[in-house]
Amino acid sequence: MSTADKNDKTERAERLSVFKTYKLYVGGKFPRSESGRVYEVTDAKGNWLANVPLSSRKDARDAVVAARKAFGAWSGATAYNRGQILYRIAEMLEGRREQYVREVADAEGLSPAKAKSNTAKAAAQVDAAIDRWVWYAGWTDKIAQVVGGGNPVAGPFFNLSSPEPTGVVAVLAPQESSFLGLVSVVAPVIATGNTAIVVASEKSPLPALSLGEVLATSDLPGGVVNILSGRTAEIATPLAAHQDVNAIDLAGADDVLAKELEIAAADNLKRVLRPQPVDYTATPGIDRMTAFLETKTVWHPTGSLGASGSSY
Amino acid sequence: MASAFEYAPAPESRGIVDIAPSYGLFIDGEFVEAADGKVFKTVSPSTEEVLSEVAQAGEADVDRAVKAARKAFGKWSALPGSERAKYLFRIARIIQERSRELAVLETLDNGKPIKETRDADLPLVAAHFFYYAGWADKLEHAGFGPNAKPLGVAGQVIPWNFPLLMLAWKIAPALATGNTVVLKPAETTPLSALFFADICRQAGLPKGVVNILPGYGDAGAALVAHPDVNKVAFTGSTAVGKEIARTVAGTHKKVTLELGGKGANIVFDDAPIDQAVEGIVNGIFFNQGQVCCAGSRLLVQESIQDELLDSLKRRLSTLRLGDPLDKNTDIGAINSEEQLSRITSLVEQGEAEGAERWSPACEIPTSGYWFAPTLFTNVTQAHRIARDEIFGPVLSVLTFRTPDEAVAKANNTPYGLSAGIWTEKGSRILAVAGKLRAGVVWSNTFNKFDPTSPFGGYKESGFGREGGRHGLEAYLAPSSPEGER
């Protein structure tokens, strides 16, 4: 599968390695693209790595349907339960760490020239990505306490503001950071109870597609995260215009595409997170979570029922 | 319905307010004419009397005001928070001192009853300035990072339904956080904002920190599009909100939008009927229904529909429509001829689509813009009066059988601003409130506001929250640990 395998000229050279057919991850299943199209993914040196699905608009729409279907149960799950599942993702990733190190090294041109130091770099990225899941796993049951709370209104009312997920979020994964960047934009979206349609890095989609395999075995309900590979502009356009998508993270769009998508997103007043320079190795703030949260404020009288004079 | 005793007229004196025959734009601390000399008239919607002639801002004026605000920004944002706080406290106090004058002015220019300007609008306006005054020197504790910074020049466009209150919602947090402001009031209600300019003068607010540009939609559009505006805040229609979202696409302007609504007021069979009726009336007839969070869709549990409607109709028959300056008036004038015709046409459409229209017997004044409180029954979710925001005293009544059906119907709208729940069962309140996709849920009450309480919508009702700690976010650039921005 990787170039490292193919260049392996040891005594076991006779054995032909088994390639993996990379597939999309939609609704908890692994479909090929509805379009039947694929495109070629290479490593930084241009060596062939895999043919991956070139998703179509129909795939994007299917992913929205899956994400919407999953939203009720996921947003309604307890924050504790969501935290457990996010932590489980870290556990599963840890077990497949070597695979991701190889894929990230291939994807980001970190091999094979200076194999050793580059593997170390890829390993650092993967470790940081695993740790990021752990970080967000801990946030699921704390964010409401940090950004919500009681409001001391001037009257006999109980008044409470709580954050709630905004709904279905389209996430354009960053183009350059194929795994750490990807995890950094997906985890905050689902930690807060949203469901996601993720458009993988166009050039380096393999770590994202492999992530689907981990998510599928991490107790994450099908449809909470849906992963598409293909041309970012082609898939993002119908997502930005989709009436049943509530928000869009433009991290993986260039300025021209971002503007176009932001205009399309205005049609149903999607929440938009604009692209901005981010150092994904730094500890994230809470902005990526709050960007996809609504605040609901509930009022209720305390005791007095107003003009009627009746009381509790 | 004839009552035993008639109310004697109880008019508030309009002598307390001096309205000048003409007003300029307020730019850089001065009242000035519009660059192209244009003016427009503002009329009292209850009498059609011309109240004053007001300078009409155009693109050149927007540019001039933004420049003044930019110039003022450096010093204003560098002031210690405690000093900015004192300016806001001064403003709050002056508003309290002049609240009777402002209430009368607002009633004259807007058409809403003095009872509401005096008892709802003005106290809340002062309270907003007091609340945000106190934040100005505590911003590092607000949860937006230790070095949260103001954004710069805020371009703010506000509607005509709560002219001074919307100004307070916009200006108080902007100033507290160290931004400077260019605000465009609505063309039908410019006067209270111009009086506010005078309050800024009395408070000694530095020149250019607040600029007021009366004008039409073109001035608002120019303000939103101005390249030197860092923050756009808008309250108004969803259609204009979408246009603004398109305008700011690809820029770094921060945006908050408070847009339309089609609030569901859900009454369960165990609700206290009398209180629910008061809540329904308050929900849709407060401010002539010209409220974005109005409870314009009444969802009644089928088993109590007849009883509730009887009570509601009886209550509506006691509402007094007429002179907004009369202290006993419940229903004032519709804000403009244009708005009246919008309401009229939607109501006609409701009838044409087969819904049943009912209004209490009520005398309509011969001059001014008036619409009787109106109730529609036999309404289905497909009717336009159940889907479109009417922004008038028109209530559409629908029914449901189960809580799940109530939630499904309540959420069946592109809007998501407000909702009401009436039931004696606590667990039901909390369960239903949790399932409603709306930014504000009033249970066993309706249309309550407070500066400490965040307000704003889900879905197409816009983004961002105003009020409370949340309201600060719109005017701050957080000091991000990622080192961005």
Share of chain B above pLDDT 70, in %: 98
Q: Is B145 in the A-facing interface, judged by CB distances under 8 Å?
A: yes
Respond yes or no: is residue B97 known to be catalytic: no
- pLDDT over threshold 60, residue A111: no
If pLDDT is split at 50, 70 and 90, which confidence band does A119 have?
confident
Which pLDDT score, from 0 to 100, does residue A308 have?
A: 56
Nearest-Cα distance to chain A for B114, in Å, is: 19
Interface contact A263-B246, CB threshold 8 A = yes
Q: Is A68 in the B-facing interface, judged by CB distances under 8 Å?
A: no
Q: What kind and span of H or E run contains A92?
A: helix A79-95
Nearest-Cα distance to chain A for B471, in Å, is: 11
Which pLDDT score, from 0 to 100, does residue B484 have?
A: 42
Which pLDDT score, from 0 to 100, does residue B145 have?
A: 85
- Among B249, B208, B154, which residue's Cα sits nearest to residue B25? B208
Q: B69-84, pLDDT tens digit by residue?
A: 999 999 999 999 999 9
- pLDDT over threshold 80, residue A4: no
Residue of chain B whose Cα is closest to the Cα of A300: B443
Q: Which of B116, B292, B293, B466 is catalytic?
A: B292
How far apart CA B344 and CA B352 sit, in angstroms, is 12
Respond yes or no: is residue B258 known to be catalytic: yes
- pLDDT over threshold 70, residue A5: no
Interface contact B443-A147, CB threshold 8 A = no
How far apart CA A12 and CA A4 sit, in angstroms, is 13
- pLDDT over threshold 60, residue A3: no
Cα angle B31, B32, B36; round to 5: 155
- pLDDT over threshold 50, residue B483: no
How far apart CA A9 and CA A7 sit, in angstroms, is 6
Q: Is B147 in the A-facing interface, judged by CB distances under 8 Å?
A: no
- pLDDT over threshold 90, residue B330: yes
Which pLDDT score, from 0 to 100, does residue A263 have?
A: 98
Residue ranges with strand state E in B86-144: none
- In this structure, what token pair is assigned to residue A295? 């605040």
- pLDDT over threshold 50, residue B332: yes
How far apart CA A102 and CA A2 sit, in angstroms, is 7
Of B249, B259, B459, the CB nearest to A259: B249
Interface contact B441-A298, CB threshold 8 A = yes
CA-based Rg of chain B, rounded to a whole angstrom? 22
CA-based Rg of chain A, rounded to a whole angstrom? 22
Residue where the block lists tokens 């930005």: A240
- Measured over the CA atoms of residue A193, residue A198, residue A200 and residue A202, the dihedral's sign is negative
- pLDDT over threshold 50, residue B346: yes
- pLDDT over threshold 50, residue B482: no
Which pLDDT score, from 0 to 100, does residue B241 have?
A: 98
Interface contact A282-B482, CB threshold 8 A = yes
Which pLDDT score, from 0 to 100, does residue A310 have?
A: 61
Share of chain B above pLDDT 90, in %: 96
If pLDDT is split at 50, 70 and 90, which confidence band does B295 have?
very high
Determine how many CB atoms are found less than 10 A away from the CB of residue B53.
Answer: 14
Reported ipTM: the value is 0.95
Residue of chain A whose Cα is closest to the Cα of B465: A295
Interface contact B443-A300, CB threshold 8 A = yes
Phi, psi torsion values for B396, nearest 5 degrees:
-105, 125
User: Which whole number is the average pLDDT over B438-466?
Assistant: 97
Cα angle B456, B458, B464; round to 5: 45
Q: A240-251, pLDDT tens digit by residue?
A: 999 999 999 999
Q: B172-212, pLDDT tens digit by residue?
A: 999 999 999 999 999 999 999 999 999 999 999 999 999 99
Q: pTM to 2 decimals? A: 0.94
Interface contact B444-A305, CB threshold 8 A = yes
The answer to whether residues B372 and B421 touch, using CB atoms and an 8 Å cutoff, is: no
How far apart CA B87 and CA B156 sit, in angstroms, is 20
Of B145, B278, B460, the CB nearest to A307: B278
Burial label for B483, CB within 10 Å (0-12, 13-18, 19+), is exposed
